[in-house]
Each structure stands twice: as structure tokens, then as C-alpha cells.
Amino acid sequence: MPPKTFSQIVLRDRPDAHILPDTFESKTKAFDELHVGKGQALVQVTYLSLDPAMRGWIKDRRSYVPPVKIGEVMRSGGLGVVVSVGEESKFKMGDLVSGRFGWTEYAVADDKSMEKISPLPGSTSLDFLNTLGMTGMTAYFGLHDVGQLKAGETLVVSGAAGAVGALVCQLGKRAGARVIGIAGTPVKCAWLEGDLGVDKALNYKSPTFREDFSEAVGYLDVYFDNVGGEILDLALSRLNQNARVVLCGAISAYNDPKPKGLVGYLNLNLQRAKMQGFIVSDYAKQYPVAVKEIAAGLADGSIKSKFHIVDGFQNAPSALPMLFSGANAGKLVVKVSDEHSMSPTL
């Protein structure tokens, strides 16, 4: 029998700074409110992806997507199992799918908003929330299209132990670059050097970080920025001529109601460098190119993925702030249900 009710988590308030315990609230919904229409499917959500961009989605400001509304299910990518299909749906019961289901245990979704996933050699379904999903596409196109990395160049990556940063480091090594990663603990630095093979990992919390940075980097060709703030300013002071600064994220400023501006931006002019932002969805038509290369790396073991799994749908709100404190070790996901746990059709 299908469940009588299911849970959703909605946005309750817009915090000025850090996400608070009352930023979100749980709602219980009647299962019979779910109606599957033509070209739709009912999905039981199995995993939710937690990403830094979600902090921006709950701010009421102009952006590349509309903000999540108060009372609306929190936006999120995820994985799920199709448990019921509507007329003319291209899916069938039992299909594993990825989509932007949001923070909900069950979702009715249009066929066009989902993709069927089939794990490739060396990968698992979870990789479609990481290296083979938006995380991987962000790393790939940010590095290769915006950063234009070439063999023999020096690549510096901030937030290097995060999901995007870790993959950027590995793609940089595959491209033949000298790679320097920045992280916030000795354990993360050791993982970057020992497991991912970066040439040098720097702890930004070290009292000698600025000196360590200058000594290790010299001058950089590509800076892949995930954090913004003072570390971005430091990187701007160490640019080679024609360097490229890739603006992927600014996690140090997401919870700051009055983030500070840059000081060293004039070096962009002096070194004929460029600094550019990007939105990964602009590359949607090119995703297969990235998936093919990343999948090959997963298959031969040259690309590794690491996950930090939080168990329990109800823990999504308390898990999200981990991204901004550095408490997670790997791609942060929430386990909602088992992939084999299929409810009967409506």
C-alpha cells in the first residue's frame, strides 16, 4: 500500500546572514494529493544534493533563477526511483532518475525535467549528483572553457576539498598542469596531496598561509575561485601575464550581509588578465562531452569521488550549513530512502 502521508520541507524565512534552525519548516502532505498527468511520473526521492548555490536561491534578489518563495518547497537536485507513470510517459516503474525534485519525499515531475540514469563503469548512481552531474559539469566547463587551462601552466584552486574544487584539481592534473589546492584543515590537505595527487595543498588557516602561498605558487596562470574574499584578493596579487580567474563561487561571502569588495583588481589590468563568471546551465548542450571525459576518468581510476552522506530527510536543513563551515568531507548529500524501496502505483 502507498503511504497515507509524506513530508516536504519548505522555506519559512529569509535569513540575513547564517541559515538558522527556523529558516525551514517541515510540512506533512496527503499522499492522495499527488496526481500524475500526461507525460509525467511519480518519483520517490532517494538522495538530495546539497550545494552552496542553495544559499543564493533563498535570497530575494535578481539572479539566474527566481528565488525560492516563502512557503515553497526548497529547491534541490536529487535522485529518485519512478514508482508510477502517467499516460505517454517515457519512463517506466523502477527507473532511476535525476532531476530538481526539491526537498520532498515524493514528487510528480514532467518527463522533460528528468533524466534516466544508468551508472557507467567505475561509477555509482550517486556520481550523478557529483562528478557526472552539475558538480562535474561546473568543474569541467569552468576549468576548460572559462579557464582555458593548458599543459604546463600553474592552476590554483580554492575550496579544493569541496565537490567542485576536488574535481577541478583532478581535471587539472589530467590536463598536465601544476596544481595547487587550498583547503581549511591538515586532513583535507593531506587528502588532496595523497589521494588526488595535487602538487601542493595549502591550509588557509595556517598563520604562515600568505607566505606559503607566495612560495608555492610563484605566479599563477589559472585561479579557480570557489571562496571569494581575502583569498581571491591574494590570488590577484600573484597573476602571470594573461592569467585567467574563474569565478565559480564565493562561499566566504554567502552568509555576509555586507561582503567586502576586492582590493587587488587593478592587477588584472597590469597583467593583461581576465576574470570571468559563468553559469553551468549555459553549457547544457555540451554536457555529453564532459560526461564522456569524466566517466573515462572514473573508469580508469584517475578521477575519484568522495561523499559525505547525511542520513534522514529531516536532517536536510541542519546539514546545509555544513557547506559554509567546512564540516563536510566530500560531496554533501542527504539520503532520503533506499533505491529499491518502491511504493505501489497510485
Cell numbers for 251: 562561499
- Cβ–Cβ < 8 Å for 68, 10: no
In sequence order, the β-bridge partners of residue 45 are 80
CA torsion through residues 159, 165, 170, 175, sign: negative
Q: How many other C-beta atoms lie within 10 A of the C-beta of residue 39? A: 15
- What mean pLDDT is reported for the chain? 95
The pLDDT score that the predictor gives to residue 321 is: 96
Decide: 226 and 249 in contact? Cβ < 8 Å.
Answer: yes
Tens-place pLDDT, residues 175-207? 999 999 999 999 999 999 999 999 999 999 999
Q: Per residue in 316-333, pLDDT tens?
A: 999 999 999 989 989 999
Asked if residue 343 has pLDDT above 90, the reply is: no
Name the band, by pLDDT with cuts 50, 70 and 90, for residue 340.
low
